[in-house]
């Protein structure tokens, strides 16, 4: 009887310590992945950041053109290396993270930087990440690019 009571108490302790469901654990893991992504971005560690994607990922990004564009990890590295050449201090500040289901994380952030000629930019951006098996499979980014295109 004493062993049964000990087993019961140990089971309750285990349940209370691990009260997250697998779905909640996935959401928390995905949020951790996204926070790590922005940490790598802000450190300009493009290789580690690109390594967070599957080998070929789907992107929606005004800088890449219309619709969904497939990008390799190497293309991600080249894109952001080019950006940091233009804006050596480019950084992203997360405003809010919104989990959506067990595969999607929406991130609202502001990207800032200053060019060598002193030109500064501050751009509010929203990205929807799709994360599967611990890797980013889709990166759908939205921002106002009218000014960038000279249309504002």
CA atoms within 13 A of residue 21's CA, in its CB half-sphere: 3
Structure tokens at 140: 């759908």
Q: For residue 128, with 0-12 CB atoms within 10 Å meaning exposed, 13-18 middle and 19 or more buried, which class applies?
A: middle
Q: Which CATH number is correct for 23-142, 3.30.450.20, 3.40.50.1220, 3.40.50.620, 3.10.450.50?
A: 3.10.450.50
pTM, to two decimals:
0.80
SS3 content of the chain, % helix, strand, coil (to 5): 40, 35, 25
Length of the chain as a residue count: 152
From 47, 113, 110, 62, select the one nearest 83 (Cα to Cα). 113
* pLDDT tens for each residue of the chain, 152 residues long: 555 444 444 444 444 444 445 666 889 999 999 999 999 999 999 999 999 999 999 999 999 988 999 999 999 999 999 999 999 999 999 999 999 999 999 999 999 999 989 999 999 999 999 999 999 999 999 998 765 443 33
Pairing of strands 91-100, 120-132: unpaired
């Amino acid at each position: 009887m004493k062993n049964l009571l000990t087993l019961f108490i140990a089971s309750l302790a285990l349940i209370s310590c691990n009260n997250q469901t697998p779905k909640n654990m996935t959401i928390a893991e995905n949020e951790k992945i996204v926070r790590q992504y922005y940490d790598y971005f802000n450190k300009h560690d493009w290789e580690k950041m690109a390594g967070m994607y599957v080998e070929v990922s789907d992107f929606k990004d005004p800088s890449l053109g219309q619709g969904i564009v497939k990008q390799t990890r190497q293309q991600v590295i080249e894109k952001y290396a080019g950006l940091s050449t233009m804006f050596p201090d480019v950084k992203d500040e997360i405003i809010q993270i919104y989990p959506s289901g067990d595969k999607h994380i929406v991130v609202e952030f502001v990207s800032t930087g200053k060019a060598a000629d002193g030109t500064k930019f501050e751009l509010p951006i929203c990205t929807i990440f799709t994360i599967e098996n611990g890797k980013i499979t889709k990166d759908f980014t939205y921002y106002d690019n009218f000014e960038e295109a000279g249309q504002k």
